[in-house]
Amino acid sequence: MAALLAACGGGDSSTAPEEASGKFQVKVTEAAFPSPQRLGQTSVLRLGIRNTGDRTVPNLLVSFTIKGQRGENSSLPFGISDPQPELAQPDRPVWVLSATYPRLDGSSDPGGTTTSSPKTFALGALKPGKTVTAIWKLSAVRAGKFTVLYNVGAGLGGASKAETDNGVSPGGSFTTEVTERLPETEVTDSGEIVEIKKGK
């Protein structure tokens, strides 16, 4: 994984030297996550981030939370907190992250490291002029309309701050509605289960 990250200008956050302090310019070049989804459907969330400054970003971070108090109170990046007081574990996932994700685009290997916060993923150092594209493979397990917020950081220690060329904190959101409607399916001659297309 360290070699993979190095090829994209990244590195292993667990062995990285002490992070440089200051502000680091980055730009979100790509952000995609399907708006309509169904329960049980697996979708890909993609983020492309470019270092537009002249200094290496010490440790590129991406943090997720679902908008609203229930999302903020949850320890899950793609989950909400159930307000019922008798629950021993109030966190409820809206999406389940597939194993070995996130990954760097085009790779079959894990492309991010875990941090002390389950909501934050570390993608390693990012050199000037380099772009990294990371993907999260998510399966919807709860119906409803949700807004996923994401923010980009530059380091775990707090001394490194990411900002756009305009001095704004980089980030964005995806508004997605997960419906309970299940698709009509059929079994092909080869035994594969496929969705029946409309008008068939």
All domains in the chain, ordered by first residue: 2-195 (2.60.40.10)
> What does the angle CA 56 – CA 33 – CA 91 come to, to the nearest 5 degrees?
90
Count the Cβ atoms, other than its own, within 10 Å of residue 159. 13
Q: State residue 193's pLDDT score.
A: 53
Q: State residue 159's pLDDT score.
A: 87
Count the Cβ atoms, other than its own, within 10 Å of residue 172. 12
For residue 12, is pLDDT > 50?
no
Q: State residue 131's pLDDT score.
A: 97
**H or E stretch including 186?**
strand 185-187
Token couple for 60? 């590129």
The DSSP symbol for 33 reads -
DSSP reduced 3-state for 6: helix
pLDDT in tens, 82-91: 877 676 678 9
For residue 198, is pLDDT > 70?
no
